[in-house]
Structure 1
Amino acid sequence: MKIPLKWLRDYVDVQLDIPQLAERLTLAGLEVAGVRFLGMPVPAGFAVRPEELGPEWLKDKVVVAEVIKVEKHPNADKLRLVTVHYGGSEPKVVVTGAPNINVGDSGQKVILGQAGTRYLDTHVDPPQIKELKPSVLRGVPSDAMVMSERELGISDEHTGIILLEADAPVGMPAVEFMGDAVIEVDVLPNMARCLSMIGVAREVAAITGQKLRYPDVDCPRSPEKIDGQVTVEIENPALSARYQALLIRNVALGPSPGWMQRRLTYAGMRPISNIVDVTNFVMLEWGQPLHAFDYDVLRKRAAGGKPRIIVRPARPGEKLITLDNVERDLNPDMLVIADSAGPIALAGVMGGLETEVTAQTKNVLLESANFDYVSIRRTMRTLNLPSEASLRFSKGIHPETVAPAAERAAQLMAKYAAGSVCAGVVDCYPERPAPRVIELTMNDVRRSLGMDFPIDDAVRILTALEFDVRREGDRLRATAPTHRLDIQEGPADLIEDLARIHGYDRLPATLLADELPEQHGNRPLALEERTRDLLVGAGLQEAITYALTTPEKEAPLTGGSRNYVTLLNPISNDRTSMRHTVLAGILEVAAANLKHESSAALFEVGFVYLPRTGEKLPEEPRRVAIVLVGQRGADHWSNPLGEAQAEFDFFDLKGIVESLTADLHLPDVQFRRSTVAWLHPGKAAEWIVQGSSAGHFGQLHPRVAPAYDLAGKNVFVAEIDLDAIMQFVPERYRCAPVPRFPAAKRDIALVVDEQLTAEQVAAELKSGGGDLLSAVTLFDVYRGSSIPPGTKSLAYALTYQAADRTLTDEEVDQAHKKIENRAVHVLKAKVRGK
């Protein structure tokens, strides 16, 4: 929200200097992102962002001037000689090529920059502030220029020079006539009431103790009545709480007054015409969006009869060409303004092209309405159609703002468009919201703020914020003003207002008066954070994806299940359901990264949402998803010439899972062949912890990869159930000392049945080795003609070690013999070499 300071002063006396005002607003919850000084000098020591820097309009150089005459340039067809009176002893002749001033013109008021003027040169990149120097333009000397908005640093407008209103005083310094400071405020959702000049002025008045001045909204009416000339219906009051219509006849379209155009420009909006500018001006002033329809077009659509305005959801198959000349496909989730012939506007978002106000418009139907913020937000996002109006509606506006905004707009249209406002108003207001009354005790305030807050100060602050406050001893009963939609949580909301207006920086630092509650550990959260740390330490980057998805996106991983938790009012068509897997989202992120990088090593920790039969709420287990794809490392000068980095493989992923196993001290861990359909059948494993499945990992099935834009790539993925392993993570564990005595190693090669897994064979070897066998490592797998068909040879390195002595050769040989015998009898294996 951009706040021109001169405009703000229409509603409240601002006696603070700009740095002080910016600081006080920020401390009160309106974070000042920056201040743009238009022609004004920047206060000493005040930090200004580079993009906010503009030329200072020197009082003796940049002034208001009047055009005396305009002549053709003798040596250039596109240039003209403009003679201006600027308050000096002699008129000046200025060379210009501006298209909005022509030969024969006179009497226009312009801004004259004389030699020494600092102006913004946008013909260089980046734009630079330069000093105007006397020059000769096509044979004609010129030591001044008539200025455009861009040269003064106001806006990017440079198609013509600035033309001021007729009563602009000649010779007045431009900085006094139109200089300003524009405060840019980041309005957070809880401060949405400040998306208006009056909203910000209300806060400034409360902060500084000044009186708030509301603009006069009295609007004279003509004898003609609006009754019988238009009707309004609201199909569903939950979607539109109020709709007002006023009729303004015989308007004369043209430019709005200069002061209004400047305020709109400084606030970031483009002036268009007096009617449109009034609706935008009032929206910025009151925070209530308005819309103007061409009343005669509405009558034509009604076959010459009385227009019938209907606020309703769109019908299936309806279309609307909006003001940006784009045909929009509508659906029943979108709220529209319609008449008997069909939609004429997207409620709260954008008007329709057919009924817009044009140069031929004579009669205007003015809309001031209130719409459901959820509906507006959904329409805005579905159509990707943000606007200043939808921004305000999507954050919530109280229906009581409808009436004063409509009256103010009608008043300005009557004054600046010569309109005649019909008597009366069509006001469809099915149900007025009940006022919110909150009780607050000073003890509540003391407990929250840690200080004795004087009750008189509390009454003063709340009254300044327009609460209706009744004092009952040590208790206050405060009725919230209508614009305070954020007042929902009871005393806490009032205490927040007291704290921020009093000043958070003025609250004393105090010790906690209450007893400290007993602290309990949060094992799930601790495990989640520990897992994150371990995966980051393994070289992976964390991603965070949406928990909302569609069943179709997850179907390649879930087998096409349709049993999802779905949203009643999804914000978009691709965010309709709560996810069943974390892996789908992170695969999309990996695919996006691979468009710019040679690899992706990502993980995500998040919840999935699994419906439970007979239960309203779903089960929400924590899952970890991992994706490895592409090069294992970055290209480096030390790589052999022409050789690319090796790519991730199955064992990189298995190593990460094994690191988790070790770092979490999980007992009795096994890896078995996984049979899930989304993994490559030959490169897939199931992680088993104490007999329970903890997850699956391996290569993404080549038939699944194309669904996530990863066709032709070797993608290695894992999805782990954190909740499943949490019960096995020990809170305490024993650490074995480093062995003091040397180890002895033996190798064993076994010919076993092809169906036996290496894990099964290793388990039997460990059972046969007893306490002396400290490690079993597979180092070779052989299949070939030298062994029987249907078998394979597995070679293991066996490590023997005792904690209390050095083993003798006889002890090692005896233990090794027991292992061989167990392999022969239990596994039906043949020991190779014997």
Structure 2
Amino acid sequence: SAVSGQSVKELVEIEITDPELNPRFVIGLIRNVELKPSPYQIQRRLKLAGVRPINNVVDATNYAMLEYGEPLHAFDYDVLKQRAGDKKIKIITRAAQDGEKLKTLDGNERTLTAMNVLVCDEKGSLSLAGVMGGAESEVSDTTKNILLEGAAWNFINIRRTAKQHNLPSEASFRFSRGVHPAMAEGGVNLGLKYMAEWASGAVAPDLVDAYPLPPKDAVVEITVIDVKRWLGIDLTLEKTAELLKRLEFKCTITNNQLQVTSPNHRMDIGEGIVGVADVLEEVARSYGYDNIPTTTMADALPPQVGNPVHEWEEHLRDLLVALGLQEVVSYRMTSPEKEGRIAKHDEYVRLANPIAPEKSVLRRSLVASVIDSLEKNIRYSEAFSFFEIGSVFEPHKNELPDEPRKLAIAMTGLREAMAWDVKDSPKLDFFDLKGRIELMLSGLRLTNISYTATSSYSHLHPGKAAEVKAGDKVIGAFGEMHPLVKEQYELGDSPVLVAEFDLDIMRAIAPTYGIKTIPETPPIYEDIAVIVDESVKAETVEALIRQTGGRSVTNVRLFDLYRDEKIGEGKKSLAYALTYQAEDKTMTDADAAAIRNKIVKRLEKEVGAKLRS
């Protein structure tokens, strides 16, 4: 390409205010370009790569970017010269001011923050660095002279800026993943070359190159033993060096060591032990994975150490799955508004860089996560039984949060799937959930379990909620979701049953392993029905039966609950199946009758019960 005219160094200067955000900035100049469509083959290749052809100048920047990996940006030189007046054009890179405005190439005016980086001249902002150019200095149909920029930016800053303004451009896609500063000069030269070829322009001599923060190229030392140890193959240092040189690594052999310097376009090669792993991965890739022989591991296996916490939780998962529940795994990130529908908290652990507004804090309630999953799936089936085991995050000022482990359960829908022989299935209720909880705790071998009615949980229906204790320790609560809370969700007409347990407390309780000999004597089975006041709890009656019958009553099971005007207003009938059995003798009907009479008298005395005839 033709090189002529005044050097760009005499026309343009660069000022970088923060090298950490902008380690390098390169500018080239091309004069007297003729804007027209690019050659057909170039347009075709750009389309195949997913880039829309515009004109020969813009296409040159995109084509060079795809070929070389360095995003470029073209400014209208005459616009910048007009803004500078008689003075030399001065390109400045700086952080934006909060509230500063910039109209980008897509026609939108954007409000900037101090996190964003701008390319400016002395009159004001020109482009949003590494993301998108500004509309004022863009290439137009009347453009004749072009200033071509190639730069390097802090990839974390570019990623945040692109996310903040929702600008997923080709440039931000590459810069947010890291582009080595060494690529800037080559990218600008390649872009100028294509512009000269396709637009008949004259490239100005030299480049303006501000390079205040050159990165340090990684240097790694490896030996033959490293190659054998990590890859399991025997390679000489010379062969290893040959494989790496194919990938543009610089290699020097000294004192039975291979010193490897990464090429300047590679930002993924570390140093130290990480660097050794990175370089040997490149060796394996170049050597060919299919050429590495299959061998058994030479080293001894490390001692196998169990993880009791994980194993206990896996056992709990198995129990819940066996009870017909399905596990869900949800995001730990949520928003206060989303979680506030079921549990309101003043303080949260907030994410410094949330991926989305609805994932700005770490959750405080596991029940909220399971109910969210239930709401998303509610229209896909007649019944759901979900559970999740996970952490919630309780904040501490200036300290790491507590992360207690919780179990949450949610159930709703029909008790039995509708079918040709099932016409009217009842809906799941409080006792369906209670039964599963009893079996779960039994499977964990937790004993001395008690259930107490509670109204201290705002998301549970008063009168249809219970607190669960193991001994004197509260391990959880369950019940039907409060109607006012349920209104916040789209969960259908069926009752929604929820439970939450504290796994840290449950895991700390020692399991009970009860071993009994199988009696050789036959049992006697008998049913009794007693009429009691509505306020008397069934568990109270059962406890009195067991206490009065002693060791002779081996099993008590409530099998019927009956209410009717015939038995009296405010009364209910509780029917129990009793099993009598003695370890040392065969019980007779008279023995059973004596125990029954004793039980009936005790119930009459304690709770005013009457035997139902």
TM-score of the pair, normalised by structure 2:
0.86
SS at match of 1:747: strand
The one-letter code sitting in structure 2 at the alignment partner of 1:582 is L
Name the CA distance, whole Å, in 1 between partners of 2:421 and 2:97.
66
Name the CA distance, whole Å, in 2 between partners of 1:540 and 1:341.
66
Provide the residue aligned with 1:617 in structure 2: 400
2:444 is the alignment partner of 1:664: yes
2:461 is the alignment partner of 1:680: yes
Name the CA distance, whole Å, in 2 between partners of 1:531 and 1:401.
55
Name the CA distance, whole Å, in 2 between partners of 1:801 and 1:739.
13
The one-letter code sitting in structure 2 at the alignment partner of 1:610 is E
Name the CA distance, whole Å, in 2 between partners of 1:810 and 1:309.
107
The one-letter code sitting in structure 2 at the alignment partner of 1:547 is R
Name the CA distance, whole Å, in 2 between partners of 1:481 and 1:317.
41
Name the CA distance, whole Å, in 2 between partners of 1:276 and 1:738.
92
Aligned residues: 607
Measured against aligned partners, the alpha-carbon deviations of 1:15-39 in whole angstroms (never above 9, x if no partner) come to xxxxxxxxxxxxxxxxxxxxxxxxx
2:608 is the alignment partner of 1:830: yes
2:435 is the alignment partner of 1:651: no
Structure 1 residues 481 and 590: CA distance shift in structure 2, 3 A: same
Post-superposition shift, 1:764? 4.6
Structure 1 residues 719 and 401: CA distance shift in structure 2, 3 A: farther
Name the CA distance, whole Å, in 2 between partners of 1:307 and 1:493.
43
2:409 is the alignment partner of 1:629: no
Structure 1 residues 417 and 229: CA distance shift in structure 2, 3 A: same
Name the CA distance, whole Å, in 2 between partners of 1:341 and 1:704.
57
Measured against aligned partners, the alpha-carbon deviations of 1:184-208 in whole angstroms (never above 9, x if no partner) come to xxxxxxxxxxxxxxxxxxxxxxxxx
Post-superposition shift, 1:411? 1.8
2:186 is the alignment partner of 1:428: no
Name the CA distance, whole Å, in 2 between partners of 1:576 and 1:449.
43
Structure 1 residues 816 and 590: CA distance shift in structure 2, 3 A: same
1:572-583 alignment to 2 at 5 Å? 572-583=356-367
Name the CA distance, whole Å, in 1 between partners of 2:105 and 2:260.
44
More displaced stretch, 273-282 vs 504-513: 504-513
The one-letter code sitting in structure 2 at the alignment partner of 1:700 is M
Asked whether the equivalents of residues 237 and 430 of structure 1 are also in contact (C-alpha less than 8 Å), the reply is: yes
Post-superposition shift, 1:409? 0.8
2:587 is the alignment partner of 1:807: yes
Partner of residue 504 from structure 1, selected from 289, 293, 299 = 289
Partner of residue 347 from structure 1, selected from 104, 129, 140 = 129
Report which of the two has the higher share of helix: 2
Structure 1 residues 752 and 632: CA distance shift in structure 2, 3 A: closer
Provide the residue aligned with 2:233 in structure 1: 451
Provide the residue aligned with 2:139 in structure 1: 357
Name the CA distance, whole Å, in 2 between partners of 1:473 and 1:811.
97
Partner of residue 371 from structure 1, selected from 153, 162, 168 = 153
More displaced stretch, 810-819 vs 417-426: 810-819
Asked whether the equivalents of residues 781 and 792 of structure 1 are also in contact (C-alpha less than 8 Å), the reply is: no
Name the CA distance, whole Å, in 2 between partners of 1:606 and 1:445.
42
2:277 is the alignment partner of 1:492: yes
Name the CA distance, whole Å, in 2 between partners of 1:383 and 1:464.
41
1:283-322 alignment to 2 at 5 Å? 283-299=65-81, 308-322=90-104
Structure 1 residues 520 and 223: CA distance shift in structure 2, 3 A: same
Structure 1 residues 567 and 243: CA distance shift in structure 2, 3 A: farther
Partner of residue 603 from structure 1, selected from 387, 402, 410 = 387
SS at match of 1:477: strand
Structure 1 residues 313 and 591: CA distance shift in structure 2, 3 A: farther
1:202-241 alignment to 2 at 5 Å? 221-227=3-9, 229-241=11-23
1:395-406 alignment to 2 at 5 Å? 395-406=177-188
TM-score of the pair, normalised by structure 1:
0.65
Asked whether the equivalents of residues 750 and 829 of structure 1 are also in contact (C-alpha less than 8 Å), the reply is: no
Measured against aligned partners, the alpha-carbon deviations of 1:199-222 in whole angstroms (never above 9, x if no partner) come to xxxxxxxxxxxxxxxxxxxx7643
Post-superposition shift, 1:404? 1.0
- Which has the bigger relative contact order, CA under 8 A and spacing at least 6? 2
The one-letter code sitting in structure 2 at the alignment partner of 1:485 is M
SS at match of 1:263: helix
Name the CA distance, whole Å, in 1 between partners of 2:247 and 2:147.
34
Name the CA distance, whole Å, in 1 between partners of 2:131 and 2:449.
58
The one-letter code sitting in structure 2 at the alignment partner of 1:463 is K
Unaligned segments of structure 2, at least 5 residues: none
2:469 is the alignment partner of 1:691: no
2:55 is the alignment partner of 1:273: yes
Post-superposition shift, 1:471? 2.5
1:443-482 alignment to 2 at 5 Å? 443-482=225-264
Name the CA distance, whole Å, in 2 between partners of 1:479 and 1:399.
16
The one-letter code sitting in structure 2 at the alignment partner of 1:426 is V
2:338 is the alignment partner of 1:553: yes
Provide the residue aligned with 1:746 in structure 2: 527
Unaligned segments of structure 1, at least 5 residues: 1-218
Name the CA distance, whole Å, in 2 between partners of 1:663 and 1:569.
42
Identity in percent: 40
The one-letter code sitting in structure 1 at the alignment partner of 2:227 is V
Name the CA distance, whole Å, in 2 between partners of 1:765 and 1:307.
97
Post-superposition shift, 1:679? 1.6
Asked whether the equivalents of residues 445 and 512 of structure 2 are also in contact (C-alpha less than 8 Å), the reply is: no
2:316 is the alignment partner of 1:531: yes
Name the CA distance, whole Å, in 1 between partners of 2:84 and 2:379.
54
Name the CA distance, whole Å, in 2 between partners of 1:792 and 1:442.
89
Provide the residue aligned with 2:376 in structure 1: 592
Structure 1 residues 274 and 726: CA distance shift in structure 2, 3 A: same
Measured against aligned partners, the alpha-carbon deviations of 1:307-359 in whole angstroms (never above 9, x if no partner) come to 55444444433444443334445444444444556554333333334433222
